[in-house]
């Protein structure tokens, strides 16, 4: 059957959170941002970094930190827009597509994601704030009630479920004497006008995003045909991918670990964490903290072997990210030989 709205939203929230980052200036938290292209472009609010920013750091939810440079030519410093374009010399494993909305989308569901109090240790984790757009003002800013909760959320993405696009960048909340619990997000029309090349890059990101969501939808349909069918429903394969089997075949376990280590989603720290988050809670919550790659893979495999079908589930999740890669084909070939 088709993926439920709840399951799709959960997937969207996970992907959005992985692309959302903290913005630090001179090593102090200033706001939220998000990656928009695989080659390391990100957006935040211009007021978060100041007129002449010193060292700008982007920090992912996985703890990775990257130096970022402000692209003055692409940014929109004026208060009417307040959009800063940043660039890191790092490939972004997670990025989100931009889009625009019109008055016919007013009252549609949205989610704003970010770190409204990211400078407080007790609020270091990312937050999700759900609402509906209430108005598109004459200056094209989007008015949103109950979803912009603190200054640290400035620069964060606003996602529109109906179009499956990020349609705004959080600016700030209204002062209480104007409107209570209501804030503003800026649209991207002016950014596309100033940075024409962005449209082509964004279309590529959007195609990838739509494909990912469609693959999720198909993955819940047992009648859908896949070139590499899942193995977690195969009792024979699950019996092979078990602790009892590997206790008697340690060489095959070493080969499997090496094959897993070659998979792109296991090499990349961000993707690896995303893979682990997609596993059953009883598995993902028992995963070891990140460490050196091969040592971590060994611990991941051992943790999965503690749960019935756990290793098969891990491999199927890796397949979602690495399907059609040579490494995934090699892993499938190895499993067939076990």
Question: Against a cut of 0.75, is the pTM above it?
Answer: no
All structural domains of the chain, each given as residue ranges with its CATH number in brackets, are 5-210 (2.40.10.120), 227-337 (no CATH)
Q: How many CB atoms lie within 10 A of CB 310?
A: 25
195: nearest Cα among 43, 46, 89: 43
Q: How many CB atoms lie within 10 A of CB 329?
A: 14
Read off the pLDDT of residues 171-199 as tens digits, 9 standing for 90 and up: 876 666 566 677 788 999 999 999 999 99
Read off the pLDDT of residues 253-290 as tens digits, 9 standing for 90 and up: 999 999 999 998 888 777 788 888 888 888 888 888 76
How far apart, in whole angstroms, are the C-alpha atoms of residue 282 and residue 233?
A: 18
**b/e per residue, 196-209, with b = 16+ CB within 10 A?**
eebeebbeebbeeb
Mean pLDDT, the chain, whole residue set: 84
Q: How far, CA to CA in Å, does 23 sit from each of 48, 150, 154? A: 8, 14, 10
| Predicted local distance difference test score (pLDDT) of residue 266 | 87
How far apart, in whole angstroms, are the C-alpha atoms of residue 68 and residue 182?
A: 31
229: nearest Cα among 125, 335, 151, 326: 335
CA 35 to mean position of chain CA atoms: 9
């Amino acid at each position: 059957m088709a993926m439920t709205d709840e399951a799709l939203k959960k997937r969207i929230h996970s992907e959005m959170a992985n692309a959302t980052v903290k913005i630090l200036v001179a090593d102090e938290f200033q706001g939220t941002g998000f990656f928009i292209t695989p080659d390391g472009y990100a957006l935040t609010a211009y007021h978060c970094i100041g007129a002449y920013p010193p060292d700008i750091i982007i920090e992912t939810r996985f703890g990775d930190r990257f130096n970022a440079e402000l692209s003055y030519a692409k940014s929109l410093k004026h208060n009417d827009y307040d959009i800063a374009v940043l660039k890191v010399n790092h490939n972004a494993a997670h990025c989100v597509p931009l889009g625009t909305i019109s008055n016919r989308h007013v009252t549609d569901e949205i989610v704003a994601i970010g770190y409204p109090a990211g400078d407080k240790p007790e609020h270091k984790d990312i937050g999700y704030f759900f609402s509906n757009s209430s108005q598109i003002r004459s200056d094209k800013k989007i008015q949103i009630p109950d979803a912009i909760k603190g200054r640290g959320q400035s620069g964060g993405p606003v996602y529109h479920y109906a179009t499956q696009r990020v349609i705004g960048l959080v600016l700030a909340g209204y002062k209480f004497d104007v409107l209570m619990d209501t804030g503003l997000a800026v649209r991207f029309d002016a950014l596309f006008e100033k940075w024409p090349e962005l449209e082509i890059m964004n279309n590529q990101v959007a195609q990838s995003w739509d494909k990912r969501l469609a693959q999720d939808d198909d993955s819940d349909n047992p009648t859908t045909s896949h070139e590499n069918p899942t193995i977690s429903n195969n009792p024979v394969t699950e019996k092979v991918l078990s602790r009892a089997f590997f206790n008697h075949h340690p060489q095959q376990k070493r080969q499997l670990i090496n094959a897993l280590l070659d998979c792109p989603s296991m090499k990349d720290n961000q993707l690896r964490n995303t893979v682990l988050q997609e596993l059953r809670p009883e598995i993902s919550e028992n995963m070891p903290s990140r460490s050196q790659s091969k040592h971590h893979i060994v611990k991941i495999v051992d943790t999965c072997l503690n749960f019935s079908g756990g290793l098969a589930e891990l491999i199927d999740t890796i397949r979602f990210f690495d399907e059609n890669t040579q490494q995934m084909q090699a892993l499938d070939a190895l499993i067939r030989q076990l």
